Structure 1
Amino acid sequence: MAVSNPFRELDEFERSFFTNPFGFFGGDTLAAFRTDILDNGKEYVLEADLPGFDKKDIHLDINNDVLTIHAERNAEREEKNDQNNYVRCERSWGSYSRQFDLSGVDAENMHAKYENGVLTLTMPKKEPKPDTSRHLEID
């Protein structure tokens, strides 16, 4: 019988989630959005900080057992100021993406909501398969 260690599983789950598409720039120069992942027993809850995004600019795609969260913000500074009068412009724009492993998640029953700049995904865990054993006869 396999002994389950939820802390190790969650740690592995979190590590396998993130792929940093901007890692070659040296760390968080173009950092992806931050996420928290909670384990509520029968489900995981992923909260992603996406302030300033419109809901229509956030895309959630599931391919096999991989969830991709992609958010894109267009450059507002070009639309707002034709004379380039900015003394300083710190608002970020561009495309941000993260991927998460869903192998332990019931992807058919996931729910998503976006409120006050936070994307919340409720991800029910897959029911554990019972350990099975059988005797195999030799021909």
Structure 2
Amino acid sequence: MFNMFDDFFDDSFVEPKNDTLLCDVKEDDKNYEMNISMPGYNKDDIKLDLTNGYLTISASSHKDHDEKDKEGHLIRQERYHGALSRSFYVGDDLTSEDVKAKYDNGELHITLPKATKQVENKAHIAIE
């Protein structure tokens, strides 16, 4: 017999994507701005590292959770508990002082300066 309630909670119908840090990247004349939605994390749960031109954003959540509620068992638990990480190549010229980060209301905002264009300094040399 068809049971609509069971089908509603089938993993193939509703499957959360909790294993990736989703990022929006914007740019203006001077900077790139990255916005990463990280609801449920505290500022202390998030770590940024800059190594060999790669900016790595990692976060870990170690919240205690119980498989049961007060009245019985949970039907489905979708809150994420664990660690996430994502790396972006930002270039070898950036230092940690160049990267600005702020965490506010579940959003991590990162500002990276664009590389300054090197002007070709070309001069004609007269031959004697």
TM-score normalized by the length of structure 1: 0.66
Q: Could you tell me how far 1:130 is from its partner in structure 2?
A: 1.6
Deviations 1:64-102 (A, max 9, x none): 211000011114314996997322211111110000111
2:46 is equivalent to residue 37 of structure 1: no
Match of 1:119 in 2: 108
> Do 1:67 and 1:101's aligned partners in 2 also have CA atoms closer than 8 Å?
yes
Structure 1 residues 58, 74: CA separation in 2 closer, same or farther (over 3 Å shift)? same
State how far apart, in whole Å, the 2-side matches of 1:126 and 1:45 are.
14
Structure 1 residues 120, 99: CA separation in 2 closer, same or farther (over 3 Å shift)? same
**Aligned counterpart in structure 2 of residue 94 of structure 1, from 82, 90, 98:** 82
2:105 is equivalent to residue 130 of structure 1: no
RMSD: 2.9
2:36 is equivalent to residue 48 of structure 1: yes
Structure 1 residue ranges without an equivalent (≥5): 1-27
State how far apart, in whole Å, the 1-side matches of 2:43 and 2:68 are.
21
Structure 1 residues 51, 29: CA separation in 2 closer, same or farther (over 3 Å shift)? closer
TM-score normalized by the length of structure 2: 0.71
> Do 2:53 and 2:94's aligned partners in 1 also have CA atoms closer than 8 Å?
no
State how far apart, in whole Å, the 1-side matches of 2:71 and 2:56 are.
38
State how far apart, in whole Å, the 1-side matches of 2:23 and 2:63 are.
24
Q: Could you tell me how far 1:133 is from its partner in structure 2?
A: 5.1
Structure 2 residue ranges without an equivalent (≥5): 1-15
Aligned-residue sequence identity (percent) comes to: 32
Structure 1 residues 74, 117: CA separation in 2 closer, same or farther (over 3 Å shift)? same
State how far apart, in whole Å, the 2-side matches of 1:66 and 1:54 are.
23
Larger Rg, first or second structure (1 or 2) = 2
